[in-house]
Amino acid sequence: MFVAESVTIAVDVMGGDLGPAVVLGGVSQALQADPDLHVVLVGAAEAVEPFAASHDRARAQATTEVIEMAEHPANAVRTKKDSSIVVGCRLVKEGAAQGFFSAGSTGACLAAATLVVGRVKGVKRPALGQVLPAYARPCLLIDVGANADCKPEYLVQFAQMGAVYMESIMGVENPRVGLLNIGAEDTKGDEFAQRAHGLLADSVPQFAGNCEGGNLMAGDFDVVVCDGFTGNVCLKTIEGTAKTLFKYVKDALMGSLASKLGALLVKGDLSALKAKLSPETYGGTPLLGVKGAVIVGHGSSNEVAIANGIAVAATTVRANVAGVIAETVARTAAAKAASGEGEAAASDAR
């Protein structure tokens, strides 16, 4: 039986488009759902202190600065040392919390997580994963924007980190890993994809071949890896296509008297579908490859989404995702070194 262990998550109360009251509402739900969860609320004193005073398992960490969504992430992290994002990450670094959740600037969270919390040993580039509501089963797309410029070898670690996350957090056994590419055959793709394909086939046992754009939402893979530029374009294209299609469906349902009547009857189920496909369902985007657990929520997160994001951060800590990633990366490095030595020995013997 799984016994939930006590875990402390730092929460950025200043993050999110809907303001501190909504974040605190989410914190409240998360605390209620998980009796072994503790939180450190990071943000303006007047927002965090009254809440902490009235909740046993909440502690306040007052800060004086806020990183705005439009700021240059790395610059903001360097200059705003007393911002909720930087302080939240520092709490993880110092061990006062094991994880951090923010619905603020993704770029700033990424910069702070890398600069303040620090990378897992052996990880070249932390990456952002996004769980997509693919048909029948969820699919983690990684990287969706942490690394615009990638080398093919980064994708091996993206695959490993993504597989660990889907196993530990989403409960997927032996996740099927795909490479986002422009054809199903092994030889397809640009130079980058062709090199990545070779490396994935060599080092990632769960690698199951290329995933075309059309298969991303079909539920054919559990993890799909790509560079952060393509991943970000793809993720936003999916969100934008869904938004446009729902607009078209709405227009179509106003197209005739019959469909207007029908629309009244199907409204409830379509709203439920919209909610199911919305970004909050999976409780935020994990930043994989940094120590501890850093989860970034959508800016538009409501209370439920905030609560889900905090819960995912707690599960990520309890499942020791960062530790399993460290072991996986170290094992691959060791295997590579051994095969390198083997090859060197073989070539000496010739």
Which residues bind to a copy of itself, rule: CB under 8 A?
A: 134-135, 145, 148-149, 180-182, 189-193, 212-218, 226-230, 232-245, 247-249, 251-253, 255-256, 258-259, 261-266, 268-270, 272-273, 276-277
Q: How far is the CB of 246 from a copy of itself (least distance, A)?
A: 8
Q: Which is nearer to a copy of itself, 48 or 146 (CB)?
A: 146
Instruction: Centre a 10 Å sphere on the Cβ of residue 9 and count the other Cβ atoms it contains.
Output: 30
Q: Which is nearer to a copy of itself, 3 or 258 (CB)?
A: 258
Q: How far is the CB of 176 from a copy of itself (least distance, A)?
A: 17
Q: 3-state secondary structure string, 229-261? A: HHHHHHHHHHHHHHHHHHHHHHHHHCCCHHHHH
Give the residue from 63, 70, 122, 123 showing the smallest Cα distance to 89.
63
Would you say 227 or 280 has its CB closer to a copy of itself? 227
Q: Which helix (H) or strand (E) holds 202?
A: helix 191-203
Q: Are 293 and 321 in contact (CB under 8 A)?
A: yes
Nearer to a copy of itself, 25 or 213 (CB): 213
Return all residues near 112 (Cβ < 8 A) that are at least 6 apart.
Answer: 77, 85, 86, 88, 89
DSSP 3-state of 163:
helix
Q: In this complex, which beta carbon is closest to a copy of itself, that of residue 19 or of residue 183?
A: 183
Comparison of 1 and 258: residue with beta carbon closer to a copy of itself: 258
Q: Which residue has the tokens 């705005």?
A: 68
State the minimum distance, in angstroms, from the CB of residue 86 to a copy of itself: 22
Residue 53 Cβ, how far from a copy of itself at the closest point, in Å? Answer: 40
User: Minimum CB separation from a copy of itself for residue 142, in Å?
Assistant: 15
Contact yes or no for 136/220 (Cβ under 8 A): no
Residue among 44, 167, 42, 38 at smallest CA distance from 103: 42
Instruction: Quote the tokens at residue 55.
Output: 């909740």
CB atoms within 10 A of CB 21: 12
Q: Which residue's CB is nearer to a copy of itself, number 226 or number 310?
A: 226
- Which helix (H) or strand (E) segment holds residue 177: the answer is strand 177-180
φ, ψ for residue 170 (rounded to 5)? -100, -5
Question: Please, what is the minimum distance in Å from the beta carbon of residue 274 to a copy of itself?
Answer: 9
Nearer CB in complex with a copy of itself: 118/209 = 209
CB 114 within 8 A of CB 126: yes
Do the Cβ atoms of 56 and 36 come closer than 8 Å? no
